[in-house]
Amino acid sequence: MKKEEIIAYLTDKQKLTAKVQDLRHDLFVVQQQSDAVQNKYKKHRNILLIVILIAAFMAADVRLLGILIVVLIGGYVALRVKRSSAQGELNGQMDQIKQKIANEQAQPAYVAGLQDFPQKFYSYWIIDRLIHLVKENRATTLQEAFNVAENQDFQNDQLALQQQNLAVAESTNSAAKVSAAANIFTAMNTRK
């Protein structure tokens, strides 16, 4: 196939995956909202627990302490109910989007597009990368584009592993420095 034919072929495949990609983006947005609700709840819960502890230590009268604790526990329950309802709505939205994704992936056109295309590369953004590889003349055939994309994925995975190993090494180095300082301090104290 010529360059223009490959680009046209990939563009057709990309159009078949566009709706699924849009739905995956919608799912990502709803999951972000769900995470935000969780974080907001955790923050409010922690503030409430701190207030309960402060009230427990500062209250001189047992009845006042009891009233404060009942009010704060009521606030905690209300907060929990509010979070559960918000989380329930978001979970319902996520289930609907997942169902829409499954329906789109079951469409005959989507399935037919998958027949002559590797499943590993059958997503909107990967096909977009393949198109750019062909347009930039980094790949002259479709197979070459697949190989270059796979090689890029491998290199990205290796880079991520290197960064992870570097973070572990830095953490170990930091812990070793703290341990060395503590050992020096201990040695100085035991010498006296």
- Block means of pLDDT (10 residues each) for the chain, length 192 residues? 87 91 94 90 84 75 78 85 89 94 91 87 89 89 89 91 92 86 79 64
Q: What counts of helices (H) and strands (E) characterise the chain?
A: 5, 0
CA distances from 63 to 2, 54, 58, 75, 84 (A): 85, 16, 13, 18, 31
How far is Cα 25 from Cα 29, in angstroms, rounded to an integer?
A: 6
Task: Give residue 43's pLDDT.
Answer: 87
What pTM was computed for the model? 0.67
Taking residue 36's Cβ as centre, other Cβ atoms within 10 Å add up to 12
Candidates 90, 118, 73, 103; CA nearest to 28 is: 90
Contact criterion met (CB below 8 Å) for 54 and 46: no
Sequential DSSP letters for 123-171: SHHHHHHHHHHHHTTS-SSHHHHHHHHHHHHHHHHHHHHHHHHHHHHHH
Task: Give residue 192's pLDDT.
Answer: 59
How far is Cα 11 from Cα 5, in angstroms, rounded to an integer?
A: 10
